[in-house]
Amino acid sequence: MNAHAPLTRLDGACADPAAGVTIRQERGQRAVFCGLTGIVWLHRKIQDAFFLVVGSRTCAHLIQSAAGVMIFAEPRFATAIMDERDLAGIADMNDELDAVVARLIDRRPDIRLLFLVGSCPSEVIKLDLGRAAQRLSRSFAPSVRVLSYSGSGIETTFTQGEDACLASLVPEMPVSAADAEPSLLVVGALADVVEDQFARIFAALGIAPVRFLPARKAGEMPPLGQGTRYLLAQPFLTDTARALEERGATRLAAPFPLGSEGTTAWLWAAAESFGVSRARFESVVAPGQARAATALAPYRQRLADKRVFFFPDSQLEIPLARFLSREMGAELIEVGTPYLHRGHLADELALLPAGTQIVEGQSLDDQMDRCREAKPDLTVCGLGLANPLEAEGLATKWSIELLFTPIQGYDQAGDLAELFARPLLRRTRLEV
Ligand code: SF4
């Protein structure tokens, strides 16, 4: 689990002198999805991987309803359901798990990488999935590698499942043959179309080699060396970043590639590190910036001066707030985030308007009260809060949609703005 950033407290709040924002920590009831949710986008990304949740019927329902699986599809995830006998310790869970995995691999010979994903029930009975993964890896080597991570709601929130999954991949990354040679690693699951766009921009800048984690195939995970410089594409990858640094990689500090401004600053961090001149950089990014400006213009009219309230959910809240405020002219009432990594978010915090109220953690009732009192034009929140808030007359945006939709880069900036403008438009139509 991500550690909360240490904060100096003054009446429960502190002003970050570097960023001019106010950061307050809150503790209480939370309303967030668990880390199993990440399977919904990760299974599309690593094309020969399979995610086996070791959990309850609740876990199976969560994954199936979040993924909207059609019954005819051969999905690349499933749940090994633990029943009362397992939970009571009557059955040997390891024997049962081995049998389930053997049946699965026999039926699905295309699987090259199997993730055993821990859940609340497997955590509670202390089922050691790490050891199970090692044992099963030995049984199925060399054709299938078995890894494990936790998506349990006890340990993780919504996007931390991706962090745990990618962190489990880091020890599997080969040692770079050219250990000290500079290379760029982009870290975080991006839609293939976005990855391809970034790869083309890096090529035009003359930056090479450029690799992505996760790779699209299990056998193609990128090599790591002392010369690896990595750019985080997502703001919730604390454990993955730590694991990469333990293997000698160096993080390039940058904002995140959301909106035109964030994308430019993110790309520039890589360009500067690889000695690309500012003139060359600007000529390469100018067409993308122009496309983004054209795409954003109509949404700026709809979002300008709209008052936005963020509940803590995806850990994307701070970069999104920066985008809405600086590029769309929205007003930020409160920006909640489940965890705040001050190092990874430093460049984002510095771009937020002075006086932005950031709340780390959650006390649901207090936050609901503040939201109702503020009557925002738009509330960004989890699925569970959206319906009640809509029923009270507030326009909402589900934060989970921001993980399922390609939103990074110049060519997705308009789509990102549209995601926020759509609920406002829908409400206008309802009011007519
Ligand atoms: S892992 Fe825990 S929080 Fe997530 S669906 Fe399963 S029981 Fe619920």
Domain CATH for 24: 3.40.50.1980
Assess whether the C-beta atom of 39 lies below 6 angstroms from ligand 1: no
Is residue 289 in some structural domain? no
Domain boundary among 230, 254, 282: 282
pLDDT at 90: 60
Q: How far is the CA of 129 from the centre of ligand 1 (A)?
A: 16
Query: How distant, in Å, are the alpha carbons of 88, 154, 310 from that of 121?
Result: 11, 10, 31
Measured CA to CA, the distance from residue 361 to residue 7 in angstroms comes to 13
Is residue 20 in some structural domain? yes
Same domain, yes or no: 304 and 347: yes
* 239 three-class SS: helix
Which residues of the chain are under the pLDDT cut of 70?
Answer: 1-19, 68-74, 86-91, 427, 429-432
Is residue 256 in some structural domain? yes
Measured CA to CA, the distance from residue 135 to residue 32 in angstroms comes to 33
pLDDT at 5: 37
Assess whether the C-beta atom of 34 lies below 6 angstroms from ligand 1: yes
Residue 313 buriedness (CB in 10 A; 0-12 / 13-18 / 19+): buried
pLDDT at 63: 84
For residue 55, the ligand 1 atom closest to its alpha carbon is: 6
Same domain, yes or no: 23 and 58: no
Domain count, the chain: 3
Is residue 410 in some structural domain? yes
pLDDT at 143: 94
Is residue 106 in some structural domain? yes
Assess whether the C-beta atom of 120 lies below 6 angstroms from ligand 1: yes
What count of Cα atoms within 13 Å lies in the side-chain half-sphere of residue 25? Answer: 12
Which residue of 37, 53, 62 sits with most ligand 1 atoms within 8 Å of its CB, as the best mutation to test the pocket? Answer: 62
Q: Which residues have a Cβ under 8 Å from the Cβ of 421 and sit 6 or more positions away?
A: 299, 302, 303
pLDDT at 345: 97
Ligand 1, atom 7, residue with closest C-alpha = 120
Domain with 79 in it:
35-156
Same domain, yes or no: 264 and 382: no
Token code pair at residue 64 = 């199936």
pLDDT at 10: 32
Residue 378 and residue 395 in contact, taking contact as beta carbons nearer than 8 Å: yes
Q: Which residues have a Cβ under 8 Å from the Cβ of 175 and sit 6 or more positions away?
A: 223, 224, 225
Assess whether the C-beta atom of 235 lies below 6 angstroms from ligand 1: no
pLDDT at 425: 81
Query: What is the value of pTM for the model shown?
Result: 0.92
Is residue 403 in some structural domain? yes
Hey, which bits of 141-182 come out as E strands?
A: 145-150
Assess whether the C-beta atom of 161 lies below 6 angstroms from ligand 1: no
Assess whether the C-beta atom of 62 lies below 6 angstroms from ligand 1: yes
Domain boundary among 223, 250, 282: 282
Same domain, yes or no: 88 and 110: yes
Measured CA to CA, the distance from residue 416 to residue 261 in angstroms comes to 13
Q: Which amino acid is at 213?
A: L
Assess whether the C-beta atom of 19 lies below 6 angstroms from ligand 1: no
Same domain, yes or no: 58 and 117: yes
Query: How distant, in Å, are the alpha carbons of 14, 157, 332 from that of 365?
Result: 22, 18, 20
Residue 150 and residue 168 in contact, taking contact as beta carbons nearer than 8 Å: no
Same domain, yes or no: 328 and 401: yes
Assess whether the C-beta atom of 97 lies below 6 angstroms from ligand 1: no
* 257 three-class SS: coil
Is residue 174 in some structural domain? no
Is residue 172 in some structural domain? no
- Chain-centroid distance, C-alpha 79: 22
Q: How far is the CA of 233 from the centre of ligand 1 (A)?
A: 26
For residue 62, the ligand 1 atom closest to its alpha carbon is: 5
Q: How far is the CA of 33 from the centre of ligand 1 (A)?
A: 8
pLDDT at 320: 98
Assess whether the C-beta atom of 55 lies below 6 angstroms from ligand 1: yes
Which residue of 52, 61, 120, 154 sits with most ligand 1 atoms within 8 Å of its CB, as the best mutation to test the pocket? Answer: 120
Assess whether the C-beta atom of 194 lies below 6 angstroms from ligand 1: no
Assess whether the C-beta atom of 152 lies below 6 angstroms from ligand 1: yes
Hey, which bits of 254-377 come out as E strands?
A: 307-310, 331-337, 357-361
Domain boundary among 254, 282, 310: 282
pLDDT at 20: 83
Assess whether the C-beta atom of 58 lies below 6 angstroms from ligand 1: yes
Same domain, yes or no: 24 and 56: no
Residue 65 buriedness (CB in 10 A; 0-12 / 13-18 / 19+): exposed
| Residues 259, 262, 265, 269, CA torsion sign | negative
Ligand 1, atom 3, residue with closest C-alpha = 153
Q: How far is the CA of 152 from the centre of ligand 1 (A)?
A: 6
Same domain, yes or no: 300 and 426: yes
For residue 118, the ligand 1 atom closest to its alpha carbon is: 1
Same domain, yes or no: 255 and 336: no
Measured CA to CA, the distance from residue 159 to residue 201 in angstroms comes to 27
Same domain, yes or no: 108 and 126: yes
Same domain, yes or no: 50 and 132: yes
Closest CA to 405 of 190, 200, 214: 190
Same domain, yes or no: 48 and 93: yes
Measured CA to CA, the distance from residue 37 to residue 309 in angstroms comes to 23
